[in-house]
Amino acid sequence: MNVDNFRLQLGGKEYVPIIIGGMGVNISTTELALAAEKLGGIGHISDAETGYVCDRIFNTSFVSRKRKKYIQYSNNPDKSAVLFDLEEVAEAQKKYIDYTVSQKSGKGAIFLNCMEKLTMNSGNETLKVRLAAAMDAGIDGLTLAAGLNLRTLDLIQDHPRFRDVQIGIIISSVRALSIFLKRAVRLNRLPDYIIVEGPLAGGHLGFGPDDWQALDLKTIFSEVLAFLKKEGLNIPLIPAGGIFTGTDAVDYLKAGAAAVQVATRFTISKEAGLPDDVKQHYINAREEDIVINMASTTGYPMRMLLQSPTLRYAIKPNCEGLGYLLENGGKCSYIDAYYNAIADRKPGEPIKVKEKTCLCTGMANYDCWTCGHTAYRLKETTNLLPNGKWQLPKAEEIFLDYQFSRDHSIKLPEPELGS
């Protein structure tokens, strides 16, 4: 049996049950999402730092315009006045999503991973604009991630697509799910799919640095499945985190999963946004290099490679141009950590910021190397080239390996000509 024996039924459509998870900032690129869509699966783009992403793709100037507008705050730890222009937020969102969905060529779908913790100094207002603009631009689905904002559905309930766009939520426990469902039931708008993310996933986690090893996706998945059954809810359940082979996926599909969400194996694909030399770091990662820490300013634990450059530099907060992680009122734990470090610095010493990193800048520059726990196995998935570097597989090759492989085998990419 392989993944191809199963299909995901969602919104009256049928998909290959492989979903590439959202990876901000622009690691899950348009090209990566489209590769899944072309093959009949579902690809995510992420709406983290969309203005910045637009500037890179389309040469727009969202970031520089904002920086110019707020330049007088660059030496001021109080960033409460550094607000996003909602029209510009909508413009960037529409531009990026339209660019992506207009290139669809298969029978799959393109979903948006919406990181709700990206509060942009005005949480609900910016979230509403981001989601509305995504629906206006024709996104097929919205995956609500990292934040569990109980007001999200209320914010978009008047949008004409509220009941037709696919809406999903990422949770890591029955508790989080049941809290969200209470609100959803009141609006008579249940999620169309639920992603249950376990402790081996990449990005931000619903598990702490000390408790993740005591928990496992299989157990949480069974608990959520049992909960849905008990409540009489027939909502597709999609496990994520550590599903490394097609056979891992089949195990979940046989146990009642509607599809699987995967990400780490695609980080090294040609289409993923990470620079090629960073992809080499991912493949060379050893298990002991992969850590969970509290460096993220969101307050959530995050998994990343110890070698991430962002853990080593102390830059001035960059909120005038970026500022995506500013909480309401213009706060960010990195601003506090940075100014504390300046106050503590001994004359002649460099600034050392403890524990926190400027995540907006680190993610934008591909200096925060977040990954799933299985990243240390990436070397099993590709060929070592004569020049000592690893071949970067095409997303299509990884997708088809998930779809058709059996017995935990992994099909290596076709060796490149001349390599």
Ligand X SMILES: Cc1cc2nc3c(=O)[nH]c(=O)nc-3n(C[C@H](O)[C@H](O)[C@H](O)COP(=O)(O)O)c2cc1C
Contact residues for ligand X, defined by CB under 6 A: 21-24, 27, 46, 48, 113, 115, 145-146, 170, 197, 200-203, 240-243, 261-264, 267, 370-372, 374
Cα–Cα distance, 79 to 320 (Å, whole number): 8
The three-class DSSP label of residue 334 is helix
Tell me the Cα Rg of the chain: 21
User: Distance between alpha carbon 219 and the CA centroid of its chain, in Å?
Assistant: 23
Q: Give the β-pairing of 203-204 and 302-305.
A: antiparallel
Query: Which residues touch 385 (CB under 8 Å, ≥6 apart)?
Result: 391, 416, 419
Least Å distance, CB 264 to ligand X, is 3
Least Å distance, CB 328 to ligand X, is 21
Least Å distance, CB 44 to ligand X, is 7
Residue/partner pairs of 160-165 with CB below 8 Å, 24 or more apart: 160/135, 161/135, 162/135, 162/189, 163/189, 164/11, 165/135, 165/139, 165/140, 165/141
Helices 30-38 and 86-101, packing angle to 10 deg: 40
Least Å distance, CB 113 to ligand X, is 5
Nearest to ligand X of 268, 314 (CB atom): 268
Nearest to ligand X of 21, 314 (CB atom): 21
The one-letter amino acid at 218: K
Residue nearest ligand X, Cβ-based: 21
Residue written as token pair 């993610």: 363
Nearest to ligand X of 45, 101 (CB atom): 45
Cα–Cα distance, 77 to 416 (Å, whole number): 51
The three-class DSSP label of residue 398 is helix
Cα–Cα distance, 64 to 79 (Å, whole number): 17
Cβ proximity of 73 and 82 under 8 Å: yes
Least Å distance, CB 341 to ligand X, is 27
Least Å distance, CB 235 to ligand X, is 17
Nearest to ligand X of 238, 332 (CB atom): 238
Least Å distance, CB 138 to ligand X, is 21
Nearest to ligand X of 372, 413 (CB atom): 372
Task: Tell me which residue of 20, 41, 21, 17 sits closest to 255, measured CA to CA.
Answer: 17
Least Å distance, CB 178 to ligand X, is 20
Residue written as token pair 């290139």: 103
The one-letter amino acid at 178: S
Nearest to ligand X of 304, 314 (CB atom): 304
Nearest to ligand X of 235, 314 (CB atom): 235
Cα–Cα distance, 4 to 11 (Å, whole number): 20
The three-class DSSP label of residue 19 is strand
Cβ proximity of 403 and 246 under 8 Å: yes
Nearest to ligand X of 145, 314 (CB atom): 145
Cα–Cα distance, 276 to 152 (Å, whole number): 36
Least Å distance, CB 400 to ligand X, is 16
Least Å distance, CB 290 to ligand X, is 11
Task: Tell me which residue of 265, 220, 191 sits closest to 20, measured CA to CA.
Answer: 265
